[in-house]
Each structure stands twice: as structure tokens, then as C-alpha cells.
């Protein structure tokens, strides 16, 4: 399957590597591919720059946001929360319409340092704003409550027996994403919370996630809904 990934951070690279290893035809999108490829500094979490990643993953290609969105039969939004709507606008509604958009973004504001605040919460969510801005897209919110490495390898923690949430208004889109999460990524417990408005809850979990990270000094943790 052809998949477009918007964003070249650790999340975008981790997703791209995993999806490519599963046999998917992956293109990563960025604002300026030439400038992005020319960067030599490590990423925010010390990971190799995108140029090194692409050298190790020759099957993964790089393009603009619009090219990646057009390429993908499904699209993953792995941009930061503050950049999400602009990145999707650059991707283009015509390139996204009718497709599943897996939204991993969180509305985090780091302008005043740590811990970050939320730019939207309580009676709205970034997931809902994406759906309103792009009504022809089937938005599914998921993977935004765990570290990038756990997203694609949940088995490294508790054998994968912890909970991942999905929400969205299109049942078929959620079913496709859930199958990918279970059969492709190895998630054993995927909990459907309902419509895209349920993204309010998963996004508002992030302030607790950040504080748990600070307390544990390790991002490789998760939660389990026991029922």
C-alpha cells in the first residue's frame, strides 16, 4: 500500500521505517525537502538526521507535504501540534480528500518551557479541528499517547499488553487503522473510544504523560485499562 507521512521528526522516521519494513511504499513529506535533506545535526532526541535515515532506508522516499499526501492511499500526520493545520493546508485538501488520515499530533505549547501547556482542550481538540478543516478526510486519532518507539514496537513493554486508544467518526477508517495497529505494529489492546470528539480525552492525557516522563526519567511507559 502507498502511504504518505507528514513530518520528519523521530515519530515520522520511526513510522516510515516500520511501515516500509511491512512492505508498504512510503513517502515522507516535509516543507522543504532540499533543506531537510541537507541537515546534518541529530534530531531532537539524538537520533540520526533524516539524510542518514534515508541512506539506511532506500525504499523510503522524500517529497513535499503535497507530494507525500498525493502519494499516499492513507496519510499519517506526524507533525507537531502547532504545525499540524499549516502542514495539512500545504498538503492540500484535494490530495487528502477521501483518505484515512491517522492523526498523531498533540496540541502542546512549549513557548514557556517545560512542562508544556495545551493550545486547545476541554470543549475542543486538535483532532476535531483537523476534521472540521478537512471534512472530506477520515480522521482517526491514535498513537498520540505513547513514545515514538512504543508506537511501532509495543511488545518491548509488558509484551504489548497495554492500551492504545483510537477515535474517529468513520467506522471503516477506524477498522482499517485498528487492523494495522494489531497485525502490523503488534498492539494487543486497542480500545475504540468513539467519535473524533473523544480526542479531547487522549490529548488532555498528555500533561500527565509529560509529568510521568519527568518522574520516571524514561519515555518508555504506557497505561493499561483493566476491565
Q: How far apart are CA 207 and CA 141, in angstroms?
A: 17
Q: How far apart are CA 113 and CA 92, in angstroms?
A: 32
Q: How far apart are CA 133 and CA 127, in angstroms?
A: 10
| Residue 48 pLDDT level (bands cut at 50, 70, 90) | confident
Q: Burial of 85 by CB count in 10 Å (0-12 exposed, 13-18 middle, 19+ buried)?
A: middle
pLDDT tens digits, one per residue of 185-206: 999 999 999 999 999 999 999 9
Whether residue 115 contacts residue 207, with contact meaning beta carbons closer than 8 Å, is answered with yes
What pLDDT does residue 45 have?
Answer: 74
What pLDDT does residue 46 have?
Answer: 77
pLDDT tens digits, one per residue of 142-179: 999 999 999 999 999 988 889 999 999 999 999 999 99
User: Which grid coordinates are listed for 45?
Assistant: 532526541
Q: How far apart are CA 28 and CA 61, in angstroms?
A: 6
For the entire predicted model, the pTM comes to 0.96
Identify the DSSP state of 196: G
Amino acid at each position: 500500500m502507498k502511504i504518505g507521512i507528514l513530518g520528519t521528526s523521530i515519530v515520522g522516521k520511526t513510522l516510515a521505517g516500520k511501515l516500509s519494513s511491512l512492505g508498504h511504499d512510503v513517502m515522507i513529506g516535509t516543507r522543504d525537502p532540499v533543506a531537510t535533506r541537507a541537515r546534518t545535526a541529530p534530531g531532537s532526541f539524538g537520533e540520526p538526521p533524516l539524510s542518514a535515515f534515508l541512506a539506511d532506508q532506500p525504499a523510503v522516499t522524500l517529497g513535499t507535504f503535497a507530494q507525500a499526501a498525493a502519494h499516499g492511499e492513507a496519510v499519517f500526520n506526524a507533525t507537531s501540534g502547532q504545525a499540524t493545520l499549516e502542514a495539512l493546508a500545504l498538503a492540500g485538501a484535494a490530495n487528502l480528500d477521501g483518505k484515512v488520515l491517522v492523526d498523531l499530533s498533540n496540541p502542546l505549547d512549549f513557548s514557556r518551557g517545560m512542562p508544556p501547556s495545551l493550545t486547545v482542550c476541554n470543549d475542543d481538540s486538535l483532532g476535531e479541528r483537523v476534521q472540521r478543516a478537512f471534512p472530506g478526510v477520515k480522521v482517526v486519532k491514535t498513537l498520540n499517547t505513547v513514545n515514538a518507539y512504543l508506537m511501532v514496537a509495543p511488545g518491548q513493554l509488558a509484551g504489548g499488553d497495554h492500551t492504545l486508544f483510537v477515535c474517529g467518526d468513520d467506522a471503516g477508517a477506524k477498522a482499517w487503522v485498528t487492523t494495522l495497529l494489531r497485525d502490523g505494529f503488534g498492539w494487543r489492546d486497542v480500545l475504540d473510544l468513539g467519535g473524533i470528539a473523544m480526542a479531547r480525552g487522549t490529548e488532555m492525557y498528555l500533561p500527565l504523560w509529560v509529568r510521568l516522563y519527568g518522574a520516571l526519567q524514561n519515555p518508555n511507559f504506557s497505561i493499561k485499562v483493566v476491565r
